[in-house]
Amino acid sequence: MEAVVSCANAMPRALLLDWFYKRFAVSWMAVAMKAAITYASFMTLKNSLVEVLLEQEPGMHLRFQDDEEAMKALLSYHPEADRLLEDLVAIKVDCSPVDDDTRCLWVIKFDGYEEDVSLQACFEGLEKALHLDAPQGEGVRPRHFVPRLGPGRWRNDVQRETAFQRAEREETLGITANK
């Protein structure tokens, strides 16, 4: 057993993690940096960061450097990350301005300005960054959307024509034909 441990300690961390994930067949892997800890799935990462949020008392700044660095890394995936991280002094946990029972992450700027940040937007940005191979652009439907026909549904986005639209179309065709 000591030989295995010494071999694992001598092996570079990246190779060890690669071997671990191949050996235990982790199907979907989200590796994130939080104090040099890697996570085997997106949900374990999300649960760990939400746990950091729930451990803090409302109104308290993040106590540990690791937690603050992890939250800064998560904030970098927010849609407005450049604006949020510019002149950032501290991050604190406090109640949401809408609901007192909901914890929220607050960004404190150099001039004392405080702004609440949506963790959901950060997690969505991180998930989008992890799915780089997913198709993007117009016309791409989510995986859960299944187009179907039924009452009031038309193929190829054809809209039903009203009587007024039909009369208007016939009138313009008649005017152009008489010219």
Taking only the tens place, the pLDDT of each residue in 114-152 is 888 888 888 888 888 877 555 566 655 555 545 554 454
Contact 72, 52 (CB under 8 A): no
Mean confidence (pLDDT) of the chain: 71
CA dihedral defined by 68, 69, 73, 78, rounded to 10 degrees? 20
Q: Give the model's confidence band at 55: pLDDT under 50 very low, under 70 low, under 90 confident, else very high.
A: confident
Q: Which residue has the higher pLDDT, 87 or 151?
A: 87
The sheet with strand 114-117 has its strands ordered as 60-61, 88-95, 103-109, 114-117
CATH architecture, range 42-130: Roll (3.10)
Give residue 156's pLDDT. Answer: 47
Asked whether the predicted pLDDT for residue 84 surpasses 70, the reply is yes
What are the two backbone dihedrals, phi and then psi, of residue 79, each rounded to the nearest 5 degrees? -60, -30
Q: Give the model's confidence band at 36: pLDDT under 50 very low, under 70 low, under 90 confident, else very high.
A: low
Which residues are paired to 34 by β-bridges? 37
Nearest to 115 by CA among 80, 74, 65: 80
Question: Residues of the chain with pLDDT > 90: what percent?
Answer: 0
Give strand ranges (E) for 110-155.
114-117
- Which H/E stretch holds residue 152? none
Asked whether the predicted pLDDT for residue 111 surpasses 60, the reply is yes
| Residue 1, helix vs strand vs coil | coil
What is the Cα–Cα distance from 53 to 68, expressed in whole angstroms? 11
Amino acid identity of residue 92, one-letter, is K
Contact 94, 127 (CB under 8 A): no
Residues with Cβ < 8 Å from 175, sequence gap 6 or more? none
What are the two backbone dihedrals, phi and then psi, of residue 114, each rounded to the nearest 5 degrees? -115, 140
Q: Which residue has the higher pLDDT, 27 or 36?
A: 36
Domain residue limits, the chain: 1-30, 42-130
Q: Which residue has the higher pLDDT, 13 or 113?
A: 113
